[in-house]
Amino acid sequence: MASARVLGTEGVRLADSGDCGAAIPKLEAAEKLYHAPSTLERLGECQISAGRLVAGTESLHRVVREPLPPGAPPAFVVARQRAQQALAAALPRIGKLRVHVDGAPPEQVSVTVDGVKMSSALLDVDRPTDPGLHEVKATAPGYTTAATTVRLQDGTGAPVALKLEPDLSASQPASASPPATVPAGPTTQPVAVSTSPSGSPTSTSGNRGLAIGAFAVGGVGVIVGSVFGILALDTKSSLDSHCSNKVCPQSSQPDIDALGPRATVSTIGFGVGIVGLALGAVLLATSHGGVEAHAALTPWIGIGSAGLGGSFQ
């Protein structure tokens, strides 16, 4: 209360001297610390003097409507009388702004007046507004911003109509690439190699490089086929020794489950190995100049099988 008294006294002194710009912060701080009609009334007068008619008249309304207890301080009684006089002079000066927005659903529209968000309930109704120049701006998702400025004279009204246009750059969806598809079943990939006496060194070197790669793939395939073939034979031998009359004990079930996959991997490995070695041989043969040659090869891989088809001339 003591701090409020100090701030309020200083604020009133500044207001009496005509410096409402400096008085308003002190009067606002004093009112926050401790409410007093005499402080609030002088704050309302200064707000009106600074052009803030809406805020100032609201402050004065609070002073006028507040009941005074019996034996209230004389300063509070004088404050109410001053508030009534100031209200009578200020209320007719308040302007009215009516904002209308087209182009977007009302529930999506956001409107600001001088950067302060306006309630959507105030669309298409008179909004008490201080006289002066105001910027009105409307936005909505998917629409371009619409803005305008309007000047209100004392006690006058002004309609503001804004139209939101669709934002074409925001409405265009990003093009999506078609999903990649994987063909089912055995796949084939034809390989054609041709050489002639006039073939360039670059093409010859390329065929040799491809031949080396094919030999490497073929070698890996043969190794994989051999390893899994040995495992399959070992599993088959173990089953033969434990199963009499083709009846196997329960303990042999893991070997039975493993035999099929091992044999399949072995078959595919040998198939890939044969394809790779054959393709490497053809590429190596066609990499030498001197005689025109043409090879068309089609390696294929299926479920549990692989092979090489084509022609060589």
Which CATH number does the domain housing residue 109 bear? 2.60.40.1120
User: 236: which 2 tokens?
Assistant: 């088959």
Of 38, 58, 92, which closes a domain?
A: 92
How far apart (Å, rounded) are the C-alpha atoms in residues 25 and 287?
A: 93
Give rounded-to-5 percent helix, strand, coil for the chain: 50, 20, 25
Mark the ranges of the chain whose per-residue pLDDT is less than 50: 182-200, 290-293
CB under 8 Å, gap of 24 or more: what pairs does 104-107 form?
104/140, 104/142, 104/143, 104/164, 105/140
* Spatial distance between the Cα atoms of 158 and 147, rounded to a whole number of angstroms: 15
Rg (CA), the chain: 47
pLDDT of 301 reads 54
Measured in whole angstroms, the distance separating CA 181 from the mean position of its chain's CA atoms is: 28
Give residue 225's pLDDT. 75
Last residue of a domain, one of 58, 92, 126: 92
- Cα separation of 258 and 251, whole Å? 13
State whether 202 and 298 are in the same domain: yes
The count of domains in the chain is 3
Round to whole Å and give the CA distance between 59 and 215. Answer: 94
The answer to the question of residue 229 being in a domain is yes
pLDDT recorded at residue 247: 66
Spatial distance between the Cα atoms of 139 and 109, rounded to a whole number of angstroms: 6
**Domain membership of residue 146 as a residue range:** 95-168
CB 285 within 8 A of CB 293: yes
Q: Note the pTM of the prediction, 2 decimals.
A: 0.52
**Per-residue pLDDT at 264:** 84
